[in-house]
Amino acid sequence: MKICMVGEGAFANKHLDALAKIDNVEVVALVGGVAESTEKVASDRGIPFWTQNLDEGLAQSGVDAAILTTPTPMHASQAMQVLNAGKHVLVEIPMADNLADAEALVKTQQATGLTAMVGHTRRFNPSHQYVHNRIVAGDLNIQQLNVQTYFFRRQNLNALGEPRSWTDHLLWHHACHSVDLFQYQTGELVSEVFALQGPKHAELGIAMDMSIGMKTPSGALCSLSLSFNNDGPLGTFFRYICDNGTYIARYDDLVDGHEQPIDVSKVDVSLNGIELCDREFISAIREGREPNASVAQCLDAMITLDRIEKCLGD
């Protein structure tokens, strides 16, 4: 299978690392935003063609699919561009930064019949898979999911400390992970939401702190705290408070409520959530089936994010 990678930054490189571990997959084109860095990644990775034009990348001989790791505001339009070019697409989370664009993307996927998936990595992290498998088996139910998503981003810089050409967003990007995970793990669409946000940054124009509460019809709760003001340990941490145990997930690691490690090495073929996400995308194309985290499945998260945005008055 021949892949066109779109984006040359940190997440593109994580996907390139992952694809190198999947049999019979070849990245034949790289589409980037900055010529110098795109050329360097292509050279370092042995990718035969690079360009700054998405249409040119998709037009390379034999390209079957594209993986989009571009700025959030470009996700929906580029994903539809890929589908309309007759290629399958995996778009990094979120699929869009508003509900209307997300709905348009789902309609485009339905019209083309091609595979369209979102990089909702939390569904694939072995730590969260472990909990999901126990829920499906009937061993436990979630009573509350407590999530902390903390970064220190008082300047418009990316994860590598480099200037960013677009502005990240606590709600439409970082909250999207947890909103989708909560609904995926409970199997329910949120019935009640509330949200509060702190003052907006004078230059960035976004709220730097946010608190979100959600409830499902069965009574499960999710408390989500997000901040770009946190000068301390960075990342997202999940505490599952269940009727049969407590579990704390830190990316691909899992401990119980007493900080005792839980072995998740046998949950899947890899401990890397991005690799497992890419494997699902490739397998779904080859098998002609809907992938886990398809755009249609992930639309529920976008609906809930839209409801949260209305609570915030944005």
pLDDT at 160: 64
pLDDT at 314: 67
- 142 pLDDT higher than 70: yes
The whole-number average pLDDT for the span 66-91 is 97
The whole-number average pLDDT for the span 56-77 is 97
User: What tens digit of pLDDT does each residue of 5-16 get?
Assistant: 999 998 999 999
- 3 pLDDT higher than 90: yes
Share of the chain above pLDDT 70, in %: 96
Cα separation, 280 vs 117, whole angstroms: 9
Cα separation, 97 vs 12, whole angstroms: 20
User: What tens digit of pLDDT does each residue of 98-139 get?
Assistant: 999 999 999 999 999 999 999 999 999 999 999 999 999 999
Cα separation, 314 vs 312, whole angstroms: 6
- 159 pLDDT higher than 70: no
- 163 pLDDT higher than 80: no
The whole-number average pLDDT for the span 227-233 is 91
pLDDT at 30: 98
Strand partners, 192: 215
The whole-number average pLDDT for the span 197-210 is 90
CATH H superfamily, domain 2-120+274-290: NAD(P)-binding Rossmann-like Domain (3.40.50.720)
Q: How far is CA 233 from CA 150, 152, 164, 181, in A?
A: 8, 9, 22, 22
Q: pLDDT class for 202, splitting at 50, 70, 90? A: confident
Q: For the residues of the chain, what is the DSSP string, one character each?
A: -EEEEE--SHHHHHHHHHHTTSTT-EEEEEE-SSHHHHHHHHHHHT-S-EES-HHHHHTSTTEEEEEE-S-GGGHHHHHHHHHHTT-EEEEESPS-SSHHHHHHHHHHHHHH---EEEE-GGGTSHHHHHHHHHHHTTS--EEEEEEEEE-B-SSSB-TTS-B-SS---IIIIIIHHHHHHHHHHHTS---EEEEEE-PBPTTT-SBSEEEEEEE-TT--EEEEEEESB--SS-EEEEEEEETTEEEEEETTEEEETT--B---TTSSS-S-HHHHHHHHHHHHHHHTSPPTTBHHHHHHHHHHHHHHHHHHT-
Burial of 134 (0-12, 13-18, 19+ CB in 10 A): middle
Q: Which fold has domain 122-271+300-312?
A: Dihydrodipicolinate Reductase; domain 2 (3.30.360)
User: What tens digit of pLDDT does each residue of 253-273 get?
Assistant: 999 999 999 999 999 999 999
122-271+300-312: same fold as 2-120+274-290?
no
Burial of 26 (0-12, 13-18, 19+ CB in 10 A): middle
pTM of the model: 0.95
The domain segmentation of the chain, as residue ranges, is 2-120+274-290, 122-271+300-312
- 55 pLDDT higher than 70: yes
pLDDT at 187: 97
- 291 pLDDT higher than 80: yes
Cα separation, 263 vs 150, whole angstroms: 26
- 233 pLDDT higher than 80: yes
pLDDT at 140: 96
